[in-house]
């Protein structure tokens, strides 16, 4: 079933690679590639690791308003990037409890312990623990998660922390230096620094029916980098690493900080993204052109469920309606529906045109609905 919402799946637990989401990416060349949200990793023994408590970053002397060397970028931001280690409990075939572990990276946002990461890193976690570059560890609480943007905020009880400086992703240019810092393959490689360039801006990536606009970089992004930082030459965080192309090297993607920051602020303040619009329906099927011709039905979004007391129900939407226009624009897929809807806010009125079969005449008729959008809440 296709849903209006990018729904979370509370039953999904970590596997050996944890949180792997397969998706399709649409870029300017109109090529479909296999995508994954950069997964968390299964923790295990590796041949070597840094000594507990040993700092891999030397002291950084802050110099504002100038380009930094990669060495200084690492010194400035390394202490602000943490490992996010999660435990999950699932139920086996015979009712037994099965524990698994996974993890990713996070970015310290404030001196009092707010940390940004990806939703898919902490989704389904029964416990979360944060590890710093110097070996310090803290239990963490999930403050808020947003599956639609793959962002989350967690909190540790600590003070006086060194925190990251956020820049402006809107000022980036293709060819700018890009430095990624995170924990690829887990804490054994904590604080790994990889260097590349901004390969492209505003790449359109579609994951499970939701469209993302992401920064593309060739800085290496691997399993465990999820939630880590993409940093500009001024040492400012301009993206949160999230996605890579599994079938290609040198193609990683990050959520632009201009998009992420308001979401993170709402998660801290409210625990969810405030004001996000909701139509109030779930779709059973996207009817393609071939299906429409074969079965003699209109092409569009087949409504499988209407939320009781929601905006769509109050406007007169019915199960088996086929949505063909939203906001006066042709709308034949859920991805397009979400794209149009997200231009509005809760309380706005959204015009939706549907095709509805008249059982008496056996003909499809057009109905125009004025839906007052409600606020989406977890």
What's the CA angle centered on 52, arms 47 and 58, to 5 degrees? 105
DSSP string, 277-293: EE--EEEEEEE-HHHHH
Q: Could you give phi then psi for residue 123, rounded to 5 degrees?
A: -60, 130
E strand or H helix at 240, and its extent? strand 237-245
Identify which of 57, 54, 47 has the alpha carbon closest to the alpha carbon of residue 79: 57
Contact indicator for 277, 352 with CB cutoff of 8 Å: no
Whose CA is closest to 214, among 33, 25, 80? Answer: 25
For residues 229 and 166, the answer to whether their CB atoms sit within 8 Å is no
Classify residue 341 by its DSSP letter: H
Alpha helices in 78-179 (DSSP H): 119-122
Q: How far apart are CA 331 and CA 31, in angstroms?
A: 22
Instruction: Please give the helix or strand (H or E) that residue 356 lies within, else none.
Output: strand 349-358
Tell me how far apart the alpha carbons of residues 368 and 378 are, in angstroms, rounded to a whole number: 29
- Which residues are known catalytic residues? 120, 150, 226
Rounded to 10 degrees, the C-alpha dihedral 184/186/190/192 comes to: -10
- E-state strands within 288-377: 300-306, 322-326, 329-330, 349-358, 363-372, 374-375
DSSP string, 28-79: TT--EEEEEEPP-------S--PPTT--SSPPP----SS---HHHHHHHHGG
Collapsed DSSP state (helix, strand, coil) of residue 338: helix
Both structure tokens of 366? 């057009």
DSSP code, position 314 = H
Burial grade of 315 (CB within 10 A; 0-12, 13-18, 19 or more): buried
């Amino acid at each position: 079933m296709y849903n209006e919402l990018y729904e979370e799946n509370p039953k999904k637990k970590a596997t050996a690679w944890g949180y792997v989401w397969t998706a399709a990416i649409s870029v300017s060349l109109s090529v479909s590639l296999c995508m994954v949200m950069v997964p968390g990793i299964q923790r295990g023994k590796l041949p070597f690791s840094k000594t507990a408590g040993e700092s891999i970053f030397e002291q950084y002397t802050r110099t504002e308003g100038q380009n930094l060397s990669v060495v200084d970028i690492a010194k400035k931001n390394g202490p602000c990037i943490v490992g996010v280690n999660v435990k999950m409990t699932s139920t086996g075939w015979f009712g037994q409890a099965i524990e698994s572990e996974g993890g990713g990276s996070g970015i310290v946002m404030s001196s009092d312990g707010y940390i940004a990461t990806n939703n898919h890193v902490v989704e389904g976690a029964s416990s979360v623990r944060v590890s710093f570059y110097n070996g310090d560890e803290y239990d963490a609480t999930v403050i808020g998660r947003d599956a639609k943007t793959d962002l989350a905020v967690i909190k540790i009880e600590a003070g006086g922390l060194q925190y990251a400086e956020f820049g402006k992703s809107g000022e980036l240019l293709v060819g700018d230096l890009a430095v990624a810092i995170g924990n690829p393959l887990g804490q054994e490689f904590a604080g790994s620094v990889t260097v590349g360039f901004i390969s492209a801006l505003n790449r359109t990536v579609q994951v499970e029916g939701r469209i993302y606009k992401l920064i593309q970089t060739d800085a290496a992004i691997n399993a465990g980098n999820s939630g880590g930082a993409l940093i500009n030459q001024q040492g400012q965080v301009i993206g949160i690493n999230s996605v890579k192309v599994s079938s290609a090297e040198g193609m990683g993607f990050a959520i632009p900080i201009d998009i992420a920051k308001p979401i993170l602020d709402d998660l801290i303040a409210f625990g969810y993204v405030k004001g996000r619009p909701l139509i109030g329906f779930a779709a059973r099927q996207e009817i393609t052109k071939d299906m429409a011709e074969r079965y003699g039905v209109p092409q569009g979004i087949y409504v499988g469920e209407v939320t009781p007391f929601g905006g769509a129900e109050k406007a007169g939407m019915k199960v088996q309606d086929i949505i063909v226009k939203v906001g006066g624009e042709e709308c034949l897929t859920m991805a397009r529906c979400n794209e149009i809807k997200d231009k509005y806010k809760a309380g706005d009125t959204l015009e939706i045109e549907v095709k509805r079969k008249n059982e008496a005449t056996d003909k499809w008729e057009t109905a125009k609905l004025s839906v007052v959008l409600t606020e989406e809440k977890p």
